Structure 1
Amino acid sequence: MDRRDFLKGGCIACLSGLVLSSSCTSYHYVTGTLVRDGITLPLSRFGSGGDTVRYVVIRHESLRFPICLFRNGTDSFTALWMQCSHQGAELQVAGNQLTCPAHGSAFDHLGNVVDGPAARALRTFPVSLRDSELFIDLRKPNT
């Protein structure tokens, strides 16, 4: 497939996605609230009932890269810095993986390398649930 066919097919797929209802969405872009030690967001950002999402991408003007927050279970979350550990490009989320548009590296929802050229896992942050609010501790990266 040449580039032109690829782009045409991709644009058609994107336009088709716009027609789908929001309940089919598997993630949301959100703005977290920056606090002294990290970033917070309401648990409700993951939806409720039949309209739940698997992950959210948190953007904030003070962060150089977004953070992808995966929901692994009822009270289990993984916060991943969306900067490729290979050469620093911003990652994209698709399903249960993050991929690098620059060189093709792929990472699973825990930040582990699935496909190179990246050799190191992604930087992760501790996540805690306080009442109905999630807190991502930016002071203590796990990796």
Structure 2
Amino acid sequence: MGILMEGCTTIKQINTTITNNKITVNKTEFEGNKFIILNNDQLQTPIYLNKINEQNYAALLMLCTHKNCDVKPTGSFLTCPCHGSEFDNDGKVLKGPATANLTAYQTQIKETTIIIDINQAIKS
């Protein structure tokens, strides 16, 4: 686990394992956090996991759809430092030049865990 400082905001980062193309995250990781960043050596780009509510989470590939730059969380949205595209916490484009939403992954919510299927990208 790591902590990344972004301005005055502390961002929780977790090193995860992938088993059968799935990442499992304990819900307790969200204590005091609205979102967390998931890292794994098999992933070239981290996954942004946003807690919408107790039963809904958005898992987004942190890669801008405009020119493949890494996006950065800013609390209320994600921004691309390369060309200024902005995305909401569900990955939808708020401001271009990007025209396509971020890649989102299917999540399955269990009693104490969130399971992200990295082979199940959601088309939007």
TM-score (norm 1): 0.77
Tell me by how many angstroms 1:76 deviates: 0.8
Structure-1 residue corresponding to 2:40? 60
Tell me by how many angstroms 1:107 deviates: 0.2
Question: Is there any run of 5+ residues in structure 1 with no aligned partner, and where?
Answer: 1-12, 18-23
Radius of gyration: which is bigger? Answer: 1
What count of residue pairs does the alignment treat as equivalent?
A: 118
Tell me by how many angstroms 1:62 deviates: 0.7
TM-score (norm 2): 0.89
Structure 2 counterpart of 1:88, from 68, 89, 107 = 68
Amino acid at match of 2:60: L
Identity, % of aligned pairs?
A: 27
Q: How does 1:62-141 map to 2 (within 5 A)?
A: 62-141=42-121
Higher strand share: 2
Question: Is there any run of 5+ residues in structure 2 with no aligned partner, and where?
Answer: 1-5
Higher helix share: 1
The answer to whether the 8 Å contact 1:33/1:41 transfers is: no
Structure 1 segments, 4+ long, off by >6 Å, are: none
